[in-house]
Chains A and B, each alone.
Chain A
C-alpha cells in the first residue's frame, strides 16, 4: 500500500532563504498527523510542494504513490488543501464557488455532497450568499468545503483554526475526525499544540527546514513526562535530602522531579523534619507544548 504522503530529501531554496533542508517524511494512509514548528520553519513550504504550488529545489514528493511533479494530475486529484490565507473569489456565492471547484476536479453533479459539506460546516443558510458578505470564520469554513469537494483521500489543513471561534473549532474537528474515521488521511499544521495533542497520532516537528522530532504523540510526551512537583516553601530553603531532585527554582518556588507518586510522602516528610512549611503544592505533567519548547530550544 502506497504511503499517503512520502517525501524524500525534499529541499527548497528561495533566493535568500533555505526553507527546507532535506526533509524525509512518510505519512501512512488513515493517519491523523501533525506537522509542527515555529513560524518560518518550512511547514507551509512543505505543504505547498505537496500541492504543486511550489517546486522543490531537490528531492521528490508523492501523494498516494503519485509524484507531485511528473504525475501531478493524479497527485492533485487525491489531495485536498485548506490554505492558510483567507482567500475567496468575490464574484461568486458559496454554492457557485463549490460547484466551480467541483468542476475543476471533473465532477459534474456534486450537489448532494456539496449539501452535506454545507450541513457539516454550518453553512446551509449561507449557500446563496456572496462570498464577500461572509464573516472571516464563514470564509474559513468555505475554504474547508472547497478542499473537500472532490472527497480527497489525503486532506491537508494548514492552520485551519487560526482566528476561528471555539464553537466552529469544535464542530470542525468533529467533522475532520469523522472523515479520518472513514479512512481519510489528515495532515495538520497548527499553532494550538493542545489540538495536535488531542487529535494526532503522530507528530513531526520542523525547525529551520529540518525534521527535529518525529514520533507517536504518546512517545513524544513520554520522553518528557516526568511528573514535577512545584512547591512554595516557608522558609524558602530546600532540605539537603531533596536537592538532588531540583529541576528549577525561583525565589520561594521550587520545582522537583517526581517520577513516582509513591515518593511524595517521603519528600513531604523530609520537609517536616526540617520544620519547613508547604504553602502551595502542584503536581504537573509535561504536555506537547513543553516537549515542543524543549525540542525547539535544542541547538
Chain B
C-alpha cells in the first residue's frame, strides 16, 4: 500500500515541480482559444437558448484541457523514464501491476482535472457559468479523465520514442477532441457528420460534461454514461493485462 502511495506522490511531484509547463501553459492555451473564438463567434452563434457562446464554449475547453493533459501526463512520464532508463526504479521494487496502474492513473487524472479546474476558474473572469447538475459534471470529468489517462499509459508503454507519442497526439487525440463538439453543437453539422460524431467517445464526454453546467445537451447524459463506464472498464482491463504481461517493460 505504501509502495502505491509513494509512486502516486512521486508522479504528482513530477508534474508539480514543473507546473509552469504542465499546468500553467495548458491553462494559457485554453484561455487563448476562449478569447479568440468567443471574440469572433459571440455575436453569431447561439447553441442553447439563454446560453452565450462564450459560456457554451467553456465546458468544451475545460474538457479538452482535461483530456489532453491526462493523456500527456502518463504518456510523457513513462516515455521519459523508458528513454532515460530510470524506469528500473519502479520496475525493481515489489510493486504489483495493480499498484503501478492505479498510481499512474490517479496522477494523470489529477493533472487533467487540475488544469481543467484552472481553465474553469480563469474562464469565470470572462463569463458567468451556471452549474445545473454538479454530479453529472463530476461524473463526466472523472470518467473522461480516467479514459484518457488509460490511453496515456497504454501509449507510454507502447511508444519507443517521443515521435510515436507525437503521432498519437496529432493523429488521434487532437482530431478526436476537435471533432467532438468542443467549439460547436453537433446539431449544427450535416446529418452524415452527426452520425460520425456519435461514434466519437469524446463527443459524449463533452456533451455530458456540458449537461452538468447547462442542464441541456445534444444527447441524454445517461446515454453518455452508458458509453463512458464500459469504456473506462475496458481500457483499465486492457492496461492491467498489458502491465501484467510485461509488454515492452519487462522483456
Contacts and interface: CB of A to CB of B under 8 A. Distances in A.
Interface of A: 14, 48, 51-55, 72-74, 76-77, 79, 81, 83, 85, 87-92, 100-108, 146, 150
Interface in B1-39: 1-3, 5-7, 9-10, 13-14, 17-18
B3 A104 contact: yes
Given A53-B251, A55-B246, A108 B2 contact: yes
A101 B5 CA distance: 12
Contacts, number: 81
B91 A52 contact: yes
Contacts of A150: 93
B246 A105 contact: no
Contacts of A48: 251
Given A55-B250, A76-B94, 12 more contacts: A51-B91, A73-B94, A76-B93, A89-B84, A91-B13, A100-B10, A103-B7, A104-B89, A104-B93, A105-B93, A106-B3, A106-B94
B234 interface: no
A54 B14 CA distance: 27
Contacts of B91: 51-53
Given A103-B2, A103-B3, A104-B6, A146 B13 contact: no
Contacts of B96: 73
A52 B14 contact: no
Nearest to A104: B93
B95 interface: yes
B40 interface: no
B86 interface: yes
A91 B89 contact: no
B85 A103 contact: no
A46 to B, nearest CB: 13
Q: How large is the interface on B (under 10, 10 to 19, 20 to 34, 35 or more residues)?
A: 20 to 34
A105 B94 contact: yes
A230 to B, nearest CB: 46
Given A14-B251, A52-B250, A53-B251, A146 B89 contact: yes
B92 interface: yes
A87 B85 contact: yes
Which of B13, B88, B91, B246 has the largest count of A CB atoms less than 10 A from its CB?
A: B88
Nearest to A149: B93
Contacts of A74: 94
Contacts of A107: 2
B6 A54 contact: no
B89 A51 contact: no
B251 to A, nearest CB: 5
A105 B246 CA distance: 20
Interface string B86-107: 1011111111100000000000
B93 A53 contact: no
Contacts of A101: 89, 93
B162 to A, nearest CB: 16
Interface in B98-120: none
Contacts of B89: 87, 89, 100-101, 104, 146
Contacts of B1: 106
A107 to B, nearest CB: 8
A86 B119 CA distance: 40
5 contacts: A51-B91, A83-B85, A88-B84, A106-B94, A107-B2
B7 to A, nearest CB: 7
B251 A104 contact: no
A255 B8 CA distance: 65
A115 to B, nearest CB: 19
A92 B13 CA distance: 9
Given A53-B250, A87-B84, A103 B6 contact: yes
Nearest to A73: B94
A101 B90 CA distance: 8
Contact of B88 (A77, A83, A102): A83
A74 B93 CA distance: 10
Contacts of B90: 104
Closest 10 CB pairs of A and B: A103-B6, A104-B93, A73-B94, A87-B85, A76-B94, A87-B86, A106-B2, A89-B86, A54-B251, A77-B94
Contacts of B17: 91
Contact of B14 (A83, A85, A91, A104): A91
Contacts of A72: 94
Contacts of B251: 14, 48, 53-55
Contacts of A105: 3, 93-94
